[in-house]
Structures are given as C-alpha cells and as structure tokens.
Amino acid sequence: MIFNAVEIMTPILLAALGGLFAELAGVLNIALEGLILAGAFAGILAGAASGSLVVGMLAGALAGGLLAAVFTFFSIRLRANIFITGLAVNLLAAGSIPFISTWMFGTKGVLRFPDLPRLPRLLEGVTSGVGFIDSLLFGHSATVYLAWLLVPLALVALYRTPFGLRLRAVGAREESVIIAGVDAVAYRRIAVLISGVAAGLAGAAISLRLGVYLPNISAGRGWIALVAIYLGYRHPIGILIAALLFGFTESLAGAAQGLLAIPGTVLLGLPYAITVVAMITYSALRARGLRRRRFIDAHF
Amino acid sequence: MAEKPAASRAPLRAQTPETVVALLAALLVTVLLLVFGSPNPARALRAFFLGPFSNRYYFGNMLDGAGLLLIAGLGVSAAFRAGVFNLGGDGQIYIAGLVAAVVCLALPQAPAVFGIVLALVAAVAVGMLLAGVCGLFKYLWGTDELITSFLISAAIVPSVSYLIVGPLRNQQSNLLTTERIAEQFRLLRLLPPSNLNLALLFALLLAPLAHFLLYHTVRGYELRITGLNREFARYGGIAIGAYTAVPMAISGGLHGLSGAFAVLGTHHAAIQGFTIGLGWNAIAVALIGRNHPLLIIPAALVFAYMEAGARAAMLHTEFSFELGAIIQAVIFFMITAHVALPRLRLHLRGRSTAA
C-alpha cells in the first residue's frame, strides 16, 4: 500500500512543485489540470512514435510549456482575467485532445500503444531489511525518482539563488521589486512556464506509466496538486509530505473499496472529497493559529 | 494567495469591442474546425448556422437551453459581482436536478402546485447549501471558494450519477434515467414537440428582477461595491463578510433552480449527465453578458444558438468532438483580454464620453 501511495503521489508532487513557482510569484495557477492533460497526451504520442520514454517525457514537458505560454500570453500579455484564462486552458485541453485524437486515430476514447516500452523500475532488489522503508524508497518507476530529484532542485532554485529570491519577491511585494528594477512581469511569466513544464512532466509520467491514454486521464490531479501547495505551507518539503499524504489516503481508499463494497462510481469523486476536506481543515487550523499569534502579539 | 481582480471594472460600452472580438473569434474557430475536421464542410457549416432554425423542434430546444443558461448565468454573475467565484455550478445544477426529480417521484399523487413548489424549493436549497458553505468557509477561515466550490462539485457528480444509474434507475427504460415525474408536475410546453416550456418565461422575469435588486436597492449597491473594491467597501462600513457568503448562496440557489427546471420543464426525469457542462456554459454566458443581468439575456441566446448549431453540425456530419468545450475555451481566452483595437476603441470611448 505504501508502494502504491508513492506511485500515486508522483504526478501530484511534480505538478505541485511546478505550481509552487507560480504560486510564489503570485499566480494561482488553476490551469494545472489542463496542462497535465496536455502533457499526458503529447507524452504518450511522442513516446510511442519514437519508442523512447525520454522523448515522451520531453514532449510532455514541451506540451505543458507551450500551453502555459498560451496561458501567459492571454493572462499576462493581454492582461485577461487569470482565473478565466486558466479555465480556458483546462477547457482547451479537454476539448482539443478528443479532436486531435479523432483526427489521428479515429477515436476519442482509449488509445493503446502496445509497442511503447515499459517505464523502468529503479533500485529493484535493493533492500534495507525494513519492509516499510523498502516499499517507500526502492523499486519504483523512474518517474518517482525524477520527482524526488526535483524537490531539492526546487528548494535550491527558490531559496538559494537570486532568481528564486526575486521570484518570491514578485509574489510577496511586487511594488518594491519593480522599484528595485526587476522586471516583475517577466518573472511571473517564467514562473508560470516552469509550472507548465512541470505539469507536462506530471502528465507524461501518468500516461507513460499506464501505457495507455484514457479520456480525462488527469482525473483531478491538477486540482489536488493545487491544494497540496497550500497544505505543504508553500514549501517544497511540505509539498512532498502533502503529496505523500494524498497518495496514501488514495491508496488506502482504493484498498477500502473492496472491504466496504462502496460502488466504484462513487469512488471517482473520492480524491476530490479528500482534497476539499484537507483544504478546509488546513485553512481552519491556519486561521486559528493566525488569530492566536495576533492575540499574543497584541497582549504580550 | 493571489489577488483576484474584479470581474469587471470598466464601463460596459468600453468593453463592447472585447465581447464582439471574443464572439467572432469563437465563430472563426468553429468554422475552421468544421471545415478541416468534417468530411463534408458545406453541410456541416449549413447545419451549424441554420440548424437551430430548421424546424420548430430545434428552435424550441434552443430557446429552452437559453432559458436554463440564463438562470444559471445569473447565478454565476451573482457571485462574480460580489468578487467571489462559484466554480461548482455544474455539480450544483446536477444534484439539484436529481433532488427535484426525487421530490416529484416521492409524491406522485400530490397537487401540481404543491409538488412543483416543493421540488423547486428543495433544489434551490441544495444549491444554496453547496455553494453557501464555500462562501462560509471563505468568510470564516479565508478558504479559497474558487477551489472548494469546484472540488465539492467534482466530488458529488459521480455520486449523483451513481444514484441515477443505480438505486433510482428506471428499469423499463433503455436510457440511464430515473422514472419520469408525474404528469401534473410537468411545466406547460410552449412549442411542441420541442422542449420549450414555461421555465423560459420565468427566466425572462428573473433577469429584470436581478437587475432591480442589483441596481436599485441598498444591498445591491453594497454587493457591487464589495465586488469592485473590498477594502473601499469595508472602509465605507459595509459588512463585507456577509457579501462573501450570501452571494455564493444566491449563486448556488440559482444554479439549483436551473437544475430543477431542467427536470420539471425539459426532461421530466433526471438522466445520467443530463446537465453536465451547463455550469461551465453559464460562466461563458455571464462573461459575454459582462455580468449585467439584462445583458445576460442576449448572451444566453447567443450562446444557446452556438451550442445548438454545434450540436446540429455534429449530427449531420457523423463526426463528434467536444466543439462546445473549444468554443468555450476561445471565449474564455478572449473575453477579458485587452485586445488592441485602437481605432474602434477610441471611437467608442469618444462616444461614451460624449454621452
């Protein structure tokens, strides 16, 4: 079950890490869902056409980045409402993929690619002697390790480079950054592009692992990633924990399905339900914490 | 958390070019997709433009669709106008439709007015509850209502579908649907054999009512000010907390109403997925109508026409894809974009200052 949780959390972690860049630059990127979908579709197409998983991943990243570029063009360049354009990205992905799919393969349903190489598993057979640690760390798909690698990378990029400092400043205090001579708009665009690339990788990680493309393959992971950013206190390590938590609850729910005889259709809504409960709980706790701190500040 | 810009700031007339450009862009994309994606472009285009007017059935159904869009669109703008987002419309409509159907099915012998009113009230209440809690959480703890409303809606849609195809399914029907509601609850059909019914008239009355409430009452004024500038509103002594939760609840209630009419007026039963997409379409309608209650009437008509046209085009070409979603995407991209149209804009602005 822990093994499964790690596999489930990977796309969420990838998308949330990218989304963190946008969030810290002051953009709530509600387009993650559509960006993941684009990455999943482009990733498996390119992977199957080239026979290379690396090419597939790169294509996923490219598709996510390109769609994010469209997103920034409208939302930042043309100053359109960022939430409406975010929805537009989601709708564009959901609407145009069936179109392309029908045009290329004659169906908008499930696409199978039998020739696609299987995603390699790394560190198989390595053992620490403790079952729990083994299933957490070893023998996972290569994409899992890619996601883990990106955690320290994001940490360094955001907190140990001038780029990261400016990016965070753009989100926290835009006016001072502009006075300091930093092109805030450019930083915001780059941040959204990064989140697009990461979401595209997340999508490719989903479809390449399954080896098939299903309609709505992203299944809400973009939204879950968005919530994971908050639950992780807008910090890469926190996001890692939050994503793991989501992965774990989801795999637990999957296991409970058989025991409790919950109908499968109802369970489709479960990831969303878990996510919204987590989000409300988090904000309630945080609000209480803030109030207490304010009380202490005021009285002592 | 990122600041949400107010849905609309500039005066209506200054926004006209964007609306026209957005609609034209959507039209252009549709035509291009039909030309390149259909084996018989001429027939597809003909079906798209003329299909909705080809007979009483299509025409009536288009108007019926516009009525539902109008009510839901008013719901979207109720939240928008107060500066909050209700992204859960789709789920609110769907579950409200089911609730209306269940109320009617539970009381097959009840008098018409009693059953209809009860079904409407129950559906509105469900919608208000689902959206209202998101507003409440926002008010209490600052939880982003945009995300929670979407997630709650996405979480309940599968359960509603389960109830329709599972325990409540009509075993005699080939469709995945509940039993049909009793005759006396079905709203009067205005243009048989189409689905057009009294709900459209109700919707057409609702828009001026919303306009009156928004522009001619103190609460409407306070709601608009809160939507335009929360800090200013608070400084002016407006209880902005109330204008977070209440508009969300109103928004959910109107979505619920739309779902109830989809059952009482249009389909006479809750069918699996029968209103899916209506919530998103309503957002497009509210945006085309610039969140102005009276402008939402033509916006709903235009959108219903494009949607009916897309459906007709697909029917005639045996070629199916999510044209509706693509049309929406184009509108969403363009409708709030600041497209450079220097001459046209200058011209219109000159007129608006002269007026």
Return all residues near B269 (Cβ < 8 A) that are at least 6 apart: B101, B170, B177, B178, B179, B180, B181, B263
Tell me if B154 and A108 make a contact (CB, 8 A cut-off): no
Task: Specify the range with the lowest mean pLDDT, choosing from A103-112, A221-230, B314-323.
Answer: B314-323
- Domain boundaries of chain A, sorted by first residue: 2-299
The domains found in chain B, sorted by start residue, are 12-347 (1.10.3470)
pLDDT in tens, B272-285: 888 888 999 999 99
Beta strands in B38-194 (DSSP E): none
Distance from CA of A123 to the nearest CA of B (A): 37
B276 touches chain A (CB under 8 A): no
Distance from CA of B124 to the nearest CA of A (A): 22
Mutate to test the interface with A, among B3, B18, B80, B143 (most CBs of A within 10 A): B143
Tell me if A80 and B336 make a contact (CB, 8 A cut-off): yes
Closest partner residue to A266 among B87, B162, B280, by Cβ? B162
Query: Distance from CA of residue A57 to its chain's centroid?
Result: 14
Please name the CATH architecture into which domain A2-299 falls: Orthogonal Bundle (1.10)
Identity at B203, one-letter amino acid code: A
Q: Are B29 and B36 in contact (CB under 8 A)?
A: no
Query: Does residue B352 have a pLDDT over 50?
Result: no
Residue A1: DSSP 8-state: -
Segment A86-91 mean pLDDT:
91
What pLDDT, on the 0 to 100 scale, is given for residue B4?
46
Identity at A266, one-letter amino acid code: V
Mutate to test the interface with A, among B30, B141, B307, B328 (most CBs of A within 10 A): B141
**C-alpha distances in angstroms, A142 versus A7, A239, B282?**
10, 20, 43
Task: Specify the range with the lowest mean pLDDT, choosing from A115-119, B6-10, B197-201, B214-218.
Answer: B6-10
C-alpha triplet A227, A229, A235: angle, nearest 5°: 160
Residue B6: DSSP 8-state: P
What pLDDT, on the 0 to 100 scale, is given for residue B351?
46
Residue B189: DSSP 8-state: B
pLDDT in tens, B27-68: 898 888 888 777 788 888 888 898 889 889 999 999 999 999
Mode of pairing for the β-strands spanning A212-213 and A111-112? antiparallel
pLDDT in tens, B149-164: 999 999 999 999 999 9
Residue A77: DSSP 8-state: I
pLDDT in tens, B109-127: 888 899 999 999 999 999 9
Which chain A residues are Cβ-neighbours of B331 within 8 angstroms? 88
pLDDT confidence of B340, banded at 50, 70, 90?
A: low
What pLDDT, on the 0 to 100 scale, is given for residue B317?
63
Segment A53-58 mean pLDDT:
92
Query: Does residue B17 have a pLDDT over 80?
Result: no
DSSP assignment of B321-339 = --HHHHHHHHHHHHHT---
B10 touches chain A (CB under 8 A): no
A-B CB pairs within 8 A amount to 152
pLDDT in tens, B221-232: 888 988 888 888
Instruction: Determine how many CB atoms are found less than 10 A away from the CB of residue B134.
Output: 34
Segment B204-208 mean pLDDT:
93
Query: Does residue A195 have a pLDDT over 90?
Result: yes
What pLDDT, on the 0 to 100 scale, is given for residue A203?
95
Segment A65-74 mean pLDDT:
94
Query: Does residue A151 have a pLDDT over 90?
Result: yes
pLDDT confidence of B339, banded at 50, 70, 90?
A: low
Query: Does residue B77 have a pLDDT over 90?
Result: yes
ipTM rounded to 2 decimals: 0.86
Instruction: Determine how many CB atoms are found less than 10 A away from the CB of residue B297.
Output: 22
| Between A218 and B206, the higher pLDDT residue | B206
Looking at every residue in chain A, the average pLDDT score rounds to 87
Segment A156-184 mean pLDDT:
90
How do the residues of chain B divide into helix, strand and coil, expressed in percent and rounded to 5? 70, 0, 25
What pLDDT, on the 0 to 100 scale, is given for residue A292?
74
Count, residues in chain B: 355
Looking at every residue in chain B, the average pLDDT score rounds to 85
Segment A182-209 mean pLDDT:
94
Distance from CA of B222 to the nearest CA of A (A): 23
Distance from CA of B330 to the nearest CA of A (A): 7
Q: Are A142 and A120 in contact (CB under 8 A)?
A: yes
- Residue whose structure tokens are 């390699």: A120
Q: Are A166 and A154 in contact (CB under 8 A)?
A: no
pLDDT confidence of B316, banded at 50, 70, 90?
A: low
What pLDDT, on the 0 to 100 scale, is given for residue A299?
67
Query: Does residue A236 have a pLDDT over 90?
Result: yes
